[in-house]
Amino acid sequence: MSSTAPWWRSAVIYQVYIRSFADGNGDGIGDIAGIHSRLPYLKSLGIDAIWINPWYKSPMADHGYDVADFRAIDPRFGTMAEAEALIEEAHRHGIRVIPDIVPNHVSDQHAWFRAALAAGPGSAERERFVFRPGRGPDGAEPPNDWMSCFGGPAWTRLPDGQWYLHLFAPEQPDLNWEHPDVRAEFEDILRFWFSRGVDGFRIDVAHGLVKHPELPDLPPRRDPDAPAPAERVPHPHWDRDEVHEIYRAWRRVADEFPGDRSFVAEAWADSPARLANYVRQDRLHTAFNFDFLMASWDARQLREVIDGSLTTLGSVGAPATWVLSNHDVTRHPSRFGRKVVKKWVANETYRPEGPLDFELGTRRARAAALLMLSLPGGAYVYQGEELGLPEVEDLPDEVLQDPCWERSGHADRGRDGCRVPLPWSGQEAPFGFSPEGATGEPWLPQPALWKDHSVEAQTGDATSMLELYRRALHLRRGLPALGEGDMTWLDAPAGVLAFTREPGFVCVVNLSAEPYQLPEHTSLLLASGPVEDGLLPQDHAVWLSR
Ligand code: GLC
Ligand code: CA
């Protein structure tokens, strides 16, 4: 890859879930001051950029994904001056900054929605949202059968009789993207932040903005095991073709600014080909690869996803990205440490099945990190993944905050378990998350075992997850073979993933039960665990040079 290729084609982007990263002012909630103080840590970790979950003014019905004002920082997180200083200081450390933008919906406290409520049925103000009369006698039934991703119907009725659409919580009314005000407003918000120096945006629910104009009922649910129909039936609100027109306009906005500004789409598409539609030359730059995140610890599945992603994205000139965890899914050492984990992705009832073997999950997570960080393209690291944090599965009911918990009638415990504040140092809570003398407790309780996972506990311990990530990220920066480029599979038995990248790099991951004799090499660069007599044990990975 030539050194003039834009940074986003091979970047490792660290996800900062701001509430839980570091608390600067001691109220128990992570904030901008906390991120600022930890920039040296991020720098030494060896990442290229940070994506920060929403930091805008918000009533926090969905922890910031309900935005009341896109041009203001929520006071719990800090001030605009602090945000500007953070962007500047991150840049001084060579770290790019990507905020989250949430275009599908706003908060019910957003000025537009308040105006829409006040103006009443039939008003121009309501046209910026999706208001409809109900069905049935007296319009007492929702306009259609769409469901909220957090459980229950996607419609809420107002005292004046009208219903409004919310694909997420009722506090998150969906915008009407057919309305020119909505399009103009978001282009302006992009310019607002691009002028403040941000390097790009992560686009929340990028596949949801455009709805079928007639808002028809959902198609009948397809049996997931039945063969896919020959022709794709468009969904009434997910991944509609018309959404790409919006991103063509956004691309033009990004291109107005100097430097390489870039977008990453949170788009849940049902095939690599559908995902590739988001990342054409005239649209967005990259998209999260959720097929990789959802793959089981299974060599055949992983290889299929890797090949499918590289071929399909490559055919439209886009780099692949790889991701194992984020703030919406069960942390991967806890996923990989179970025989079966059904439906562990956000917005679907999550129930861990069977006992957790955390050592097994950790072994696999270590190997998975070496796989992910050596595949062609970019990668995402979710805060705490470099510390090997488990999902916290035993949070008491009364502390749960994710709207999924209430909206599912307590069937779905939601996503709080992957959002517990990070351990930095010390033997007890708040483990350095909040400063000395803090007045507030961490917003979710940290388990006692956090002491073994803290940055302090792992630093300098060559066997720790943190040092594995540090070594891998530093090697990756120095090795010309890594980042964007080609890979070639080596012949290997079933259950073993082995590939080369030029010049002179080999990655081998053993997912089979048999120890695997390493291919010819000149040196062992990095191993996820002990390798003896050139034999790679089950659930281990190595980087070699040859
Ligand atoms: C995305 C976010 C998730 C949020 C939802 C609604 O899926 O990642 O955290 O709850 O959108 O904005
Ligand atoms: Ca704080």
pLDDT, one tens digit per residue, over 317-338 is 999 999 999 999 999 999 999 8
Q: Which of 15, 20, 51, 65 to mutate to test the pocket of ligand 1 (most atoms within 8 A of CB)?
A: 65
Tell me the domain boundaries of the chain.
Answer: 7-106+180-210+241-470, 111-165, 486-545
pLDDT digits (tens, 9 = 90+) for 238-269: 999 999 999 999 999 999 999 999 999 999 99
Closest C-alpha to ligand 1, atom 2: 204
Closest C-alpha to ligand 1, atom 6: 65
Which ligand has the shortest distance to the CA of 66?
A: 1
| Residues with catalytic roles | 204, 256
pLDDT digits (tens, 9 = 90+) for 69-87: 999 999 999 999 999 999 9
User: pLDDT category, 224, cuts 50, 70, 90?
Assistant: low
Nearest to 336 by CA among 370, 360, 372, 355: 360
Closest C-alpha to ligand 1, atom 12: 65
Backbone angles phi, psi at 186, to 5 degrees: -70, -35
User: pLDDT category, 348, cuts 50, 70, 90?
Assistant: low
Residue 231 has pLDDT above 90, yes or no: no
Residue 349 has pLDDT above 60, yes or no: no
Residue 119 near residue 127, CB atoms below 8 Å: no
Q: What is the pLDDT of residue 222?
A: 73
Position in ligand 1 atom list of the atom nearest CA 150: 10
- Amino acid identity, position 146: W
Which ligand has the shortest distance to the CA of 36?
A: 2
Q: What is the pLDDT of residue 182?
A: 98
Position in ligand 1 atom list of the atom nearest CA 326: 8
What is the Cα gyration radius of the chain? Answer: 23
Q: What is the pLDDT of residue 339?
A: 77
62 lines ligand 1 (CB under 6 A): yes
Residue 342 has pLDDT above 80, yes or no: no
DSSP for 87-110? HHHHHHTT-EEEEEE--SB--TTS
Q: What is the 26 CA–ligand 2 centroid distance (Å)?
A: 5
Position in ligand 1 atom list of the atom nearest CA 328: 9
Name the CATH code of domain 486-545 (choices 2.60.40.1180, 3.40.50.720, 3.40.50.300, 2.40.70.10): 2.60.40.1180
Closest C-alpha to ligand 1, atom 4: 65
What rounded mean pLDDT belongs to the chain? 95
65 lines ligand 1 (CB under 6 A): yes
Q: What is the pLDDT of residue 130?
A: 98
Residue 284 has pLDDT above 90, yes or no: yes
490-521 burial, b for 16+ CB within 10 Å, e for fewer?
eebeebbbbbbbeeebbbbbbbbeebbebbeb
Residue 341 has pLDDT above 70, yes or no: no
User: pLDDT category, 350, cuts 50, 70, 90?
Assistant: low
Looking at the chain, the whole-number percentage of residues with pLDDT higher than 70 is 97
Q: What is the pLDDT of residue 221?
A: 76
The residue to which tokens 């049996």 are assigned: 223
Average pLDDT over residues 280-290: 96
pLDDT digits (tens, 9 = 90+) for 36-47: 999 999 999 999
Q: What is the pLDDT of residue 163?
A: 98
Q: What is the 3-state secondary structure (H, E, C) of 203-216?
A: ECCCCCCCCCCCCC
| CATH topology classification for 111-165 | Oligo-1,6-glucosidase; domain 2 (3.90.400)
Q: What is the pLDDT of residue 511?
A: 98
Looking at the chain, the whole-number percentage of residues with pLDDT higher than 90 is 91
Q: Where are the alpha helices (DSSP H) in 48-179?
A: 80-92, 111-119
Position in ligand 1 atom list of the atom nearest CA 66: 12
Q: What is the pLDDT of residue 483?
A: 96
pLDDT digits (tens, 9 = 90+) for 472-517: 999 999 999 999 999 999 999 999 999 999 999 999 999 999 999 9
174 lines ligand 1 (CB under 6 A): no
Residue 346 has pLDDT above 60, yes or no: no
Q: What is the 19 CA–ligand 2 centroid distance (Å)?
A: 8
328 lines ligand 1 (CB under 6 A): yes
Q: Which of 52, 237, 328, 408 to mutate to test the pocket of ligand 1 (most atoms within 8 A of CB)?
A: 328
| Spatial separation of the C-alpha atoms in residues 191 and 253, rounded to whole Å | 7
Q: What is the pLDDT of residue 340?
A: 65
List, in order, residues 6 or more apart from 261 with CB less than 8 Å away. Answer: 194, 198, 199, 200, 254, 255
205 lines ligand 1 (CB under 6 A): yes
Residue 65 has pLDDT above 90, yes or no: yes
Residue 105 near residue 166, CB atoms below 8 Å: yes
Residue 34 near residue 24, CB atoms below 8 Å: yes
DSSP for 336-380? HTSSEEES-STTS--EEES---HHHHHHHHHHHHHHHHHSSSEEE
User: pLDDT category, 2, cuts 50, 70, 90?
Assistant: very low
Name the CATH code of domain 7-106+180-210+241-470 (choices 3.20.20.80, 3.40.50.300, 3.90.420.10, 3.30.565.10): 3.20.20.80
Q: Which of 18, 53, 62 to mutate to test the pocket of ligand 1 (most atoms within 8 A of CB)?
A: 62
Residue 351 has pLDDT above 90, yes or no: no
Which ligand has the shortest distance to the CA of 442?
A: 2
Which ligand has the shortest distance to the CA of 23?
A: 2
Q: What is the 508 CA–ligand 1 centroid distance (Å)?
A: 35
List, in order, residues 6 or more apart from 190 with CB less than 8 Å away. Answer: 101, 201, 250, 253, 254
Q: What is the 395 CA–ligand 2 centroid distance (Å)?
A: 21
| Spatial separation of the C-alpha atoms in residues 528 and 517, rounded to whole Å | 16
Q: What is the 46 CA–ligand 1 centroid distance (Å)?
A: 27
Residue 354 has pLDDT above 90, yes or no: no
Q: What is the pLDDT of residue 229?
A: 77
pTM (2 d.p.) = 0.97
The partner residues of 535 in beta bridges, in order of sequence, read 517, 532
Closest C-alpha to ligand 1, atom 9: 328
51 lines ligand 1 (CB under 6 A): no
| Spatial separation of the C-alpha atoms in residues 51 and 96, rounded to whole Å | 9
Q: What is the pLDDT of residue 233?
A: 87
